[in-house]
Chain A
Amino acid sequence: MTLVMQDYLYPALMWCCKKAENWTSITNVHAIMSQQQNLQTPSNPPGILAEVSGVKHAFERLAVLNDISLSLKAGQVLAILGPNGAGKTTLVNLMLGVYKPDAGHIQLFGQTPGVLAVRQRIGVMLQQAELADTLKVYELIRQFSAYYQSPLSTPRLLEMAGLEGKAKTRYGKLSGGEKRRVQFAIALAGEPDLLFLDEPTTGLDVQARRSLWRNIRAYAQRGAGVILTTHYLEEADALADQIVVLNQGRMVAAGTPAQIKQRVSLKQVHCRTGLPVAELESHPLIEKLQIETQPNADQDKLIQCTLLTQNAEALLRDLLQRDQALTDLQVTGAGLEEAFLALTETGTSAADTLTDKEQAA
C-alpha cells in the first residue's frame, strides 16, 4: 500500500504543484514584492541582524526577564549563558516572536519578530522539539526545506550537519546526538542569515557536543549570525564572540569570552580564621565574603568563612602570613552557579556592556 502511494501519489501531488505553477504565474508579482521589501528594510543600521533593547517580560506577574539589551552583527556568534531558569529560552522565544515583550523593543533585520519575511531568513533549533519518529532523515529535511524560497539541497544539508550515510534512517532510530543533528540540518534548510540554537548540545556526551560545535562554527564562518543559549561556559567559550550572562532574568555580565571567563574564573577558599570581619571585607583580593559561623566565645575566636577570589594563591599567601591561627583550609574551584551568584551579588549588573551603542543608551 505504502509503495503504491510512494510510486503514484507523490508524483501525482508534485504534478499538481507544477500545474498550479502554470495556472498562477505570479512569480513576477513576487519579484516586485520582494524588491519593495528590500527598499523598506534599510531602516536598521547596516549589518545589525538582531537588536534587543530594554526588554521586560513577565508570566502571570512573575518577572522572567528584566531590562535585557543586546545586539548582534552579521558574522557574529552570541551566547546567552545562564543556569536553568535564568530566562534564556524565554528570551529566545521573544526574539522568535512567540511572545510579545511587556516592555522594550526587539527587531530582527529591522523588522518585528514573527512576520513571515523575518521567519524566511532565520533558522531555529528549539530546546524541546522532537520530529516525527517514523519519517526518514531525508524526508524530514525535504519537508522542512519546502517552507523556504531557496532552500539548500538535501545532500548539502546532510553534509553540513554531518549526517552523511544517515539519509534513509528513520528519525526514531537515531541516537540523541544524531537527532540533534537532524534538527540542526532543518534549522539550516533555508540558508538563514540568523540562526537560533536553544541549548543545542544539552544532554549530549562530550564527543557529540564537540563535533556539533564544529558544524555550528562552520556555519557561522559563512557570515551568518548565530544566537545560542547554553548553560556550559565551555560551550560559550568555544563558539561565541560575545557572551551575555543571564541570571534570574537579569543580565549580570556581558562581554567577550575572555572577559567573562576572567570574571567567573573564581576560586572558593574555605577556612577558619581569627582575622576581623572588617579586614576580610576590605581585602582587595576577596570578591565576596560568606560568613558560615560566628566566633564561639567559649572555644576560640575563629570564624568559619568562604571567600571568593580571582587569585587564590596570592590571597592564601597573604592570609597565612597575617593569621597564624588560620585552620581548616580548603580551596575549590567555584562552579558556574557560584560564579553567577557572585556576579549578581557584586551588583555590577551589565557593567561591561556589549557595544558602544548600549553605553550611550
Chain B
Amino acid sequence: MNTLTVRHQWAIHCQETWSEWLRLIRIPMFALPTLLFPWMFYAFFGVMFGRGAGNAEYLMVSYGAFGVIGPALFGFGVGVASDRQQGLLQLKRVLPMPMSAYFIAKIGICLMFSVLILLGLACIAVLMGGVRLELGQWLLLMLILLIGTLPFCAMGLFIGLHSNSQSAPAIINLLYLPMAFLSGLWIPVFVLPVILQKIAVVFPAYHLAQLALSVIGKHQGQPLSGHVLILLLYTGIFLLLAGLAWRRLRDR
C-alpha cells in the first residue's frame, strides 16, 4: 500500500481540481477580475476603438496572452501563499494525498479559467470585431496560449512560496501589469517607442505573445524556436528556484 492505485490517484487529482475550482470561482475578488478584465479591455481597446478587423485580430491574440497569464500568476501566487499561511499546505502534507494533486489542481483551474477567457475573447472578436480565422488557427492559438501558461504558473509558485497572502497580490500586480504593457499585450509592441521594444525581449509575456501572434502571421519575425527556448528557460529557472524554496520549507 505504499503507492496508490492509478484509479485512486486519478480520482484524488480530479477531486482536488474540482474543489480548487469551486473555491476560486466563489471568490469574486479572484474570479471577476481574471475573467472580466481581458474581455472588457479587449472590447474597449480592441473592438470599439480599434480600427478594422486587422487590429481586432492582433489584439484578440495579445489580450488572450494577457488573459491567460492572470490566473496562472494569481492562482498560483496568491493560492500557494495563503495555503501556506493558513496551514492548509502543512495539513495536506501529512494526509495521504499525493503532493502532485496539489499542483495539478492549481494548474487545472488555471487552464479552466484560461479556456473561459479565451472563449469569451473569441466570441467578442467574432461577433463584434468581425474576426475570421480557420478552425486550425483557432485550435492552434488556443493550444499555444494554454501551454504558454506554464512558465507563469512556475513564476506564480515561486512568488507564492516567498510571500504571504497579503503581499502576494501586490507583488504580482507590480509584475503583471507593467509586464503586460511592456510586452505589447495591451497595445501592439510595434507601436511602443523603440527603446521599450528592445526591453520587451526580457519578458516571458512578450515571447508568449509572439508565439501566439505567429499563428495569424503578425509576429515581429524573430525565430519561433527562440521564443520557445526562452519560455522553457523561464519555466526551468522558476521551477528550480521554487523547488529550492519548497525544500527549505519542508526541512524547516
Contacts and interface: CB of A to CB of B under 8 A. Distances in A.
A117 B24 CA distance: 32
Interface stretch (A61-69, A123-131, A233-241, A281-289): A123-131
Given A27-B5, A116-B96, A139-B19, A14 B87 contact: no
| Chain B interface residue number, banded | 35 or more
A98 B12 CA distance: 22
A37 interface: yes
A17 B96 contact: no
A115 B2 contact: yes
A5 B19 contact: no
Nearest to A115: B2
Interface string B9-26: 011101111110111111
Interface stretch (A141-149, A270-278, A323-331): A141-149
Contacts of B86: 128-131
Contact of A24 (B2, B7, B18, B23): B7
B2 A37 contact: yes
B9 to A, nearest CB: 9
B90 A134 contact: no
Contacts of A10: 18
B202 interface: no
Label chain B's interface by main secondary structure.
helix
Interface residues of A, number: 51
Contact of A37 (B1, B25, B87): B1
Nearest to A113: B94
A194 B26 CA distance: 35
A285 B14 CA distance: 66
B12 A146 contact: yes
B232 to A, nearest CB: 29
Contact of B91 (A122, A129, A149): A129
A16 interface: yes
Interface of A: 1-2, 5, 9-10, 13-14, 16-17, 20-21, 24, 26-27, 29-30, 33-34, 37, 96-99, 114-117, 119-120, 122, 124, 126-132, 134-135, 139-140, 142-144, 146-149, 170, 190
